[in-house]
Amino acid sequence: MIIRLHGLALLPASARRPRAIIEACRLTLRGERAGKAGELNIIFVQRARMLALNKDFLKHDHDTDVIAFHYEKAAGKQSPFGDVYISAYQARVQADRLGHAVLKEVLTLVVHGTLHLLGYDDRTPGKKKEMFRAQDRLLARL
């Protein structure tokens, strides 16, 4: 799996850790036995861009921290895996609210978004519990 990072400059210097971010992706993919083909883009965006994505694609008119877009596989071809958009603004806000480093929040959001690409869903209490159990297990390994 090719993993590309975009928009790291939007994060505070203490959270710009490409190796740690890529390792969070790889650990999540390995932990969920995902294939090795394809491309995963982790894209950090400003608040306005994330608000626009949330409104355009999910029809929500509020801040969100992470949105994942899974690519459909073309018949007989290995296509890109997907994109995970992360709000640099929300990462800072949530880290401050939870009392931990922005890097920890970024890694949490990277794992969360990658789990979404792998089919995890957090729209119901039961599914959310299952997803957060997997997320916590993976984060404990980082």
pLDDT by residue (tens digit) across 78-127?
Answer: 555 899 999 999 999 999 999 999 999 999 999 999 999 999 999 999 99
Q: What is the pLDDT of residue 74?
A: 55
Average pLDDT (6-15) is 98
Q: What is the pLDDT of residue 38?
A: 84
Q: What is the pLDDT of residue 6?
A: 98
pLDDT band at residue 77 under the 50/70/90 scheme: low
46-53 contacts at long range (C-beta below 8 A, 24 or more positions apart): 46/10, 46/87, 46/88, 46/89, 47/87, 47/88, 47/89, 47/90, 49/85, 50/85, 50/87, 50/89, 50/90, 53/85
For 21-62, what is each residue's pLDDT tens digit? Answer: 999 999 999 877 776 778 999 999 999 999 999 999 999 999
Question: Structure pTM?
Answer: 0.92
Q: What is the pLDDT of residue 78?
A: 53
